[in-house]
Amino acid sequence: MIGERPRQRPELVVDGYPRRRPRWTEIATSADHKDVGRVMIGAALGFLFIALVELLLMRLQLAVPENTMLTPVTFNRLLSLYGATAIFLFAIPLALGFFYYLAPLQAGARGTALPRIGQIGLWLYLAGATVLYSGFLFTPSEAGVNPLAPLSELAFLPNNGVDAWAAATGLATLGFVLLSVNLVATLHGLRAPGMAWRRLPVFAWAAGICSWLMLFIGPVMLGAITMLLIDRNFDGIFFADGSGGSPLLWSHLSWIFFTGAYMLILIFALGAIAEIVPAFSRRPLQGRRVVIGSLIAIAVVGTLAWMQNMLTAPIGIGWMYFAMLLSLALIVPFGLVFFNLISTMVGGALRMRAPLLFAVGSLSAISIGLASEIEHSMVAVAWRLHNTTDATAATHFALVGGAVFGGFAALHYWFPKMTGRTMGETMARMSFWTMGLGTLIAFVPLFIAGGDHGEVVDAYKFFAGTGVSALNLIATIGAFVLAIGILLTLVNAIFSRTGGSRAGHDQWGGDSLEWFALSPPEPHNFDVLPDVRSARPLHDIRVAIAHRDSPALPEPAARETEPVA
Amino acid sequence: MSPSSPGTDQIDTLLWIGFVAAAILIVAINGALIYAVRRYRGSRGSRTSEAATGRRSQPRVGAALTAFATVVFVLSVIYTNNARETPASAAGGLASASSEPLTISATGQQWLWRYDYPNEAFSYYKLVVPVDTTVQLDLVSTDVIHTWNVPALAGKRDAVPGKTNHVVFRADEEGVFEGDASTLSGQAYAPMRTAVEVVSPARYQAFLASQKSDIQAAQDRVVGLIESGEVP
């Protein structure tokens, strides 16, 4: 967005940003939401690669029974790093990066309300990442994906790995909260004239919902992390039993955050898919309001169901039924979103380009993951399946489906807008099918190992003769296939940034305002903005142009064309 | 796995119900996806200009999903209540099995389970219980959170420091049932296993007596060594 570029829309020109500093300095110090978003997306994809390496090392250790490739301590460190990297450094920032880049554009804003706040958010996230991987140089945490107290207390892990984990995730979470503050302020305050809430694109709605969600769950996690740091460094007793503290306090607080983050990632994916499916079906989204309402319900009900993760803990049976009720209630909003997305495709004219391909794959994987979560919500079944690899498989189906397939769908869809170039289609197809195959081979055996043979999670080894040896070997092979598929897309993205075929400004025929901006957008986003009269401003423009060119075609509507759903 | 306890019987049934419920949704959603992609791929899309709202179908689909979720919820509550491992509850499953359960304390510690029997005997790793007797395990932990998990006999439960959790089961057949701990508890988490040996009541009593006398003999020996000055 710096330097000279041929201008296709010369109406009102803000010209001449002289290039004063090197490009990387310009990007690194920019508070522009597009620069911040691009850095976040790039960093998140980088951490996806690192998380993959950690996952593959752990899968290698679990390829054969009683393997001694990794020591227990090394395995636990990799496990902890993998969890923090996948959740805090990849999935959440990828979602927030896309939101941060696109929601202001979709809302027709020329910038964000609090750009410096968002910039600090980005740098706190990167600082958190740096802290986590500086910890890697000496002693990473050994406490697992969710470092449950009291294992994460000083008495049981006296090295500073857990401190590094807490500082890293705390910094990153604080960054997410600040980015969300700016997104909320922007979406509430800077929407273009005519861009009423009811006309806001579904993805921008998802951005608003996820930002509000982060404003609730982020501080909960920050509170828990602060307590953990006080416990470890200042003789605190928050998570010590007796003396008024309770180990279950950490469980509750951290599961509120992790459950909310799970929902955030799924809402991001479904929001992106709700943009992609209509664009590639050449058909408006069915039941827009129902979809938006369902996403809100998912955020609220899903997060309140955090005790679904604690069904074996000493909590009252009433709380267990409460968690089960909320978890099972999620069937309704998720089902309605799936119904409307699929109904939009039925009767449309599908262009099976990479974004739609990944979107369909994402829906499929999410459906398998969430349907399996139903079993984990049923109290007595959770007493059997809790903390087995069945849970690992369900979570990975949902989150790989949401963050990786959904994130890649968003990446392929908006890559032309961000870079002015399209990603290679052949490579995208190869990547998609490899990833799809890899996901099935990697995680379906874990369903069987956990569900039928009760293999437990997080263990650095399993024993021969327990019936899971072959399943684990297959899962390891599948993880490598999945990794190859993911790498293909990462390589594709890197090469397409400069080598991809040039993209138009409205590459896919999308209906929302980001396609009205140039590709990539100018620093101020829009020279002029159209008069927003419906949820599909670009569709209205196309109709108006068609009418101008050949008056026999229908006139543009003066008001909303979208019937109330 | 073959259930060896009335509680796991109920869990097994509910697991199948959950599996069927999940399978219905997975088949329905993925079937619809495959149909949509195959049927409408590159089609001319006669209805593309139509602004579909699904106004009629939304409430129907919503109601169907609500009914589905309600059925799953009600069945889960019924079967969970049957499998409830709370001796105080009124009816069904284990609750009606016997009047007073045999109470044994199970202590999770890094990385071994310790079982304390009513006659002050104790054992590590292996729990010995009589067949056809309702057993209540009081789960406590001396350090971090552990999960007691012997799937053939009962649902898993967490042992959390400062709290007491309960597992109730009644083994219907003799044998040895193994289980892994299932909450990450540190370095030796994977080998932190346990075994429950179900024996006849007579052998159980014999085990208690011999275990107690063995422990007593060992204690006496240590006390003797200390008194004789061999151990400072």
Q: What separation in angstroms does the CA of B9 have from each of A384, B6, B169?
A: 11, 5, 11
Q: What is the pTM of this model?
A: 0.93
Taking the Cβ of residue B231 and every Cβ of chain A, the question of whether any pair is shorter than 8 Å is answered with no
DSSP 8-state secondary structure symbol assigned to residue A522: B
B48 and A349 within 8 Å at the Cβ level: the answer is yes
Q: Which amino acid is at B25?
A: L
Taking the Cβ of residue B189 and every Cβ of chain A, the question of whether any pair is shorter than 8 Å is answered with yes
B37 and A346 within 8 Å at the Cβ level: the answer is no
Q: What is the bridge-based pairing of β-strands B134-141 and B102-109? A: parallel
Considering the domain architecture, whether residues B222 and B117 belong to the same structural domain is answered as: yes
**What is the per-residue pLDDT for B227?**
85
> What value, to the nearest 5°, has the Cα angle with vertex A505 and ends A504 and A509?
85
A336 and B61 within 8 Å at the Cβ level: the answer is yes
User: Which SS3 state, helix, strand or coil, does residue A81 take?
Assistant: helix
Q: What separation in angstroms does the CA of A100 have from each of A92, A196, A198, A204, A211?
A: 12, 19, 20, 10, 10
Please give, rounded to a whole number of angstroms, the shortest distance from the CA of A90 to a CA of chain B: 23
| Mutation for A interface: B57, B80, B137, B143, most A CBs within 10 A | B80
B 37-76 near A (Cβ less than 8 A): 37, 39-48, 50-55, 57-58, 61-62, 65-66, 68-69, 72-73, 76
Structural domain of residue B34, as residue ranges? 6-41+56-83
CA-to-CA distance for B173 and A375, rounded, in angstroms? 28
B149 and A459 within 8 Å at the Cβ level: the answer is no
Establish if B95 belongs to a structural domain.
no
Establish if B174 belongs to a structural domain.
yes
Compute the CA torsion angle A549, A552, A557, A558 (nearest 10 deg): 80
Q: How confident is the model at residue B95 (pLDDT cuts 50, 70, 90)?
A: very low
Establish if B12 belongs to a structural domain.
yes
A454 and B33 within 8 Å at the Cβ level: the answer is no
**What is the per-residue pLDDT for B56?**
79
Establish if B96 belongs to a structural domain.
no
Nearest to A313 among B21, B65, B158 (CB): B158
Nearest to A283 among B48, B179, B182 (CB): B48
CA-to-CA distance for A324 and B77, rounded, in angstroms? 9
Q: Kindly tell me if the per-residue pLDDT of A565 is higher than 50.
A: no
Spatial contact of B58 and A336, defined as CB atoms under 8 Å apart? yes
Considering the domain architecture, whether residues B112 and B78 belong to the same structural domain is answered as: no
The 10s digit of each residue's pLDDT in A415-430 is 999 999 999 999 999 9
Establish if B142 belongs to a structural domain.
yes
Q: How confident is the model at residue A276 (pLDDT cuts 50, 70, 90)?
A: very high
Considering the domain architecture, whether residues B14 and B119 belong to the same structural domain is answered as: no
DSSP string, A103-156: HHHHTT-SS-S-HHHHHHHHHHHHHHHHHHHHHTTS----S-SS--TTTTSTTT
The 10s digit of each residue's pLDDT in A536-550 is 999 888 888 888 888
CA-to-CA distance for A271 and A213, rounded, in angstroms? 15
DSSP string, B70-103: HHHHHHHHHHHHHH---TTS-SSTTTTT-SSPEE
User: Which SS3 state, helix, strand or coil, does residue B177 take?
Assistant: strand
Cα A430 to chain centroid, rounded = 23
Q: Which amino acid is at A470?
A: A
Residue from A190, A460, A549 nearest A541 by CA: A549
Considering the domain architecture, whether residues B68 and B147 belong to the same structural domain is answered as: no
**What is the per-residue pLDDT for A502?**
92
CA-to-CA distance for A392 and A375, rounded, in angstroms? 13
Estimate the share of chain B in helix, then strand, then coil, as percent rounded to the nearest 5: 40, 25, 40
For chain A, the C-alpha Rg in angstroms (whole number) is: 24
Considering the domain architecture, whether residues B174 and B124 belong to the same structural domain is answered as: yes
CA-to-CA distance for B196 and B8, rounded, in angstroms? 15
CATH of the domain at B215: 2.60.40.420
Mean pLDDT of A343-347: 90
**What is the per-residue pLDDT for A166?**
95
Q: What tokens appear for A159 in the block?
A: 């090295």
The 10s digit of each residue's pLDDT in A164-181 is 999 999 999 999 999 999
Taking the Cβ of residue B86 and every Cβ of chain A, the question of whether any pair is shorter than 8 Å is answered with yes
Considering the domain architecture, whether residues B17 and B127 belong to the same structural domain is answered as: no
Establish if B92 belongs to a structural domain.
no
**What is the per-residue pLDDT for A387?**
93
Establish if B232 belongs to a structural domain.
no
**Which domains, ranges and CATH numbers included, belong to chain A?**
31-549 (1.20.210.10)
Considering the domain architecture, whether residues B148 and B69 belong to the same structural domain is answered as: no
Spatial contact of A94 and A172, defined as CB atoms under 8 Å apart? no
Please give, rounded to a whole number of angstroms, the shortest distance from the CA of B10 to a CA of chain A: 8
ipTM at complex level: 0.90
Considering the domain architecture, whether residues B12 and B68 belong to the same structural domain is answered as: yes
Q: Which residues fall within 8 angstroms of residue A417, CB to CB, at 6 or more apart?
A: A102, A105, A503, A507, A514, A515, A517, A519, A520, A521
Nearest to A335 among B65, B147, B187 (CB): B65
Count of structural domains within chain B? 2
Considering the domain architecture, whether residues B67 and B19 belong to the same structural domain is answered as: yes
Considering the domain architecture, whether residues B127 and B207 belong to the same structural domain is answered as: yes
Residue where the block lists tokens 């950490």: A250
Considering the domain architecture, whether residues B71 and B113 belong to the same structural domain is answered as: no
User: The dihedral of CA A30, A34, A40, A42: what is its sign?
Assistant: negative
**What is the per-residue pLDDT for A1?**
46
Spatial contact of A292 and A207, defined as CB atoms under 8 Å apart? no
Considering chain A, what percentage of its residues have pLDDT values greater than 70?
Answer: 94
Burial class (CB in 10 A: 0-12, 13-18, 19+), A158: exposed
Q: What tokens appear for A409 in the block?
A: 């769908």
Establish if B202 belongs to a structural domain.
yes
Considering chain A, what percentage of its residues have pLDDT values greater than 90?
Answer: 77
Phi, psi of B57 (to 5 degrees): -80, -25
Q: How confident is the model at residue A309 (pLDDT cuts 50, 70, 90)?
A: very high
Residue from A213, A331, A216 nearest A267 by CA: A213
Considering chain B, what percentage of its residues have pLDDT values greater than 90?
Answer: 56
Considering the domain architecture, whether residues B126 and B205 belong to the same structural domain is answered as: yes
Spatial contact of B142 and B109, defined as CB atoms under 8 Å apart? yes
Burial class (CB in 10 A: 0-12, 13-18, 19+), B131: middle
